[in-house]
Amino acid sequence: MEKIICRIKERSWLAGRAARKMDSARLAMVLGRTIHLHGVNRQAFLADVAWLRHEVCHVRQFRSYGFWRFLWLYLLEYRRRGYYNNRFEVEARLAEKDEEMLAGVEIE
């Protein structure tokens, strides 16, 4: 099975900016294989399996499309459909219930 190594960055400046934009107290965002956190620490984030699966799904999306291509496609989707309805978010929400999502995933 392929192994995916993810990193976690707590108190991320980028996630903080996104949180202000989204008007959200807690926020996680993924860039490549790094999960950036704001308003939640590593321990609490990892304890929330559905949330972890959601963000790992984004890590997988970055892997399957490639970093810049995925970023570009995500922004296009975001502009067209907003946050909630963009297809990458729809897929990540479905992943929250997917018991296979964390298979082969290692969190550094």
Asked if 35 touches Zn ion (CB under 5 A), the answer is no
19 binds Zn ion (CB under 5 A): no
Phi and psi dihedrals of 97, rounded to 5? -105, 5
Nearest to Zn ion of 1, 6 (CB atom) = 6
Instruction: Confirm or reject binding of residue 59 to Zn ion (CB under 5 A).
Output: no
Q: Exactly one of 35, 92, 95, 101 binds Zn ion (CB under 5 A); which one?
A: 92
Q: Which is nearer to Zn ion, 10 or 96 (CB)?
A: 96
Which residues of the chain form contacts with Zn ion (CB under 5 A)? 89, 92
